[in-house]
Chain A
Amino acid sequence: GQQLNQSPQSMFIQEGEDVSMNCTSSSIFNTWLWYKQDPGEGPVLLIALYKAGELTSNGRLTAQFGITRKDSFLNISASIPSDVGIYFCAGPLTGFQKLVFGTGTRLLVSP
């Protein structure tokens, strides 16, 4: 079935560093979403993107909707320990009101 591939699979960084991760698909998406899963919790929506090329920020997080509509990027600036978790991209399947999720990027932040 449809799958979104995320890279890197995991990252271990120092507090204060910037982080970049991406999500790619073989199909075009009209909406891109980024979710974060804190340890022991369910995913929570961080950012939604609706147009190719769109750049949207939520605090220290910035996400971009790729021009080809087959990819999206998430950047976290000045990371802090509470950024620890798994970050998922997601997109709605064309014609269906359900989501396909990426494979996830696990972020670990060292104080």
Chain B
Amino acid sequence: DADVTQTPRNRITKTGKRIMLECSQTKGHDRMYWYRQDPGLGLRLIYYSFDVKDINKGEISDGYSVSRQAQAKFSLSLESAIPNQTALYFCATSERLKGSRSFYEQYFGPGTRLTVT
């Protein structure tokens, strides 16, 4: 079974609708992240959480909100979806990378493809 799962894998929604993307992990990691991927722009950080009580905005948090319901669950919400939020969304978790004292390797889920019409 996958260590990081995302639901749904694909979603088509209409402008103005509220939508939630869910992420669950069985790796026991404290740190979780939400990214979006757009062609030619790479992965951009939306929100990140270092533990259940610690949630931080990333570089493109406008229009998004998150909830860390438990160590293993981190949800991303679009309160009122708009077409330019059409993208591939990834959840990731992290642990300490061997050999590095200050960096954490990130483990990614399979992604959610979201289309806003």
> Which residues of A come within 8 Å of B, CB atoms?
1, 3-4, 6, 9, 30-31, 33, 40-45, 48, 50, 88, 90, 92, 97-104
Contacts and interface: CB of A to CB of B under 8 A. Distances in A.
Contacts, number: 65
A48 B97 contact: yes
B84 interface: no
B42 A102 contact: yes
Contacts of B50: 97
B108 interface: yes
Contacts of B58: 98
B64 to A, nearest CB: 16
A40 B110 contact: yes
Q: Which 5 A-B pairs have the closest CB atoms?
A: A42-B108, A101-B43, A1-B59, A101-B42, A103-B42
A9 B42 CA distance: 11
Contacts of B111: 40-42
B74 interface: no
5 contacts: A31-B100, A43-B90, A100-B45, A102-B42, A103-B41
A103 B40 contact: yes
A4 B33 contact: no
Contacts of B97: 48
Contact of A9 (B31, B40, B48, B105): B40
A35 to B, nearest CB: 8
Nearest to A100: B45
A48 B106 contact: no
Contacts of A98: 33, 45, 48, 58
Nearest to B97: A48
A50 B100 contact: yes
A16 to B, nearest CB: 28
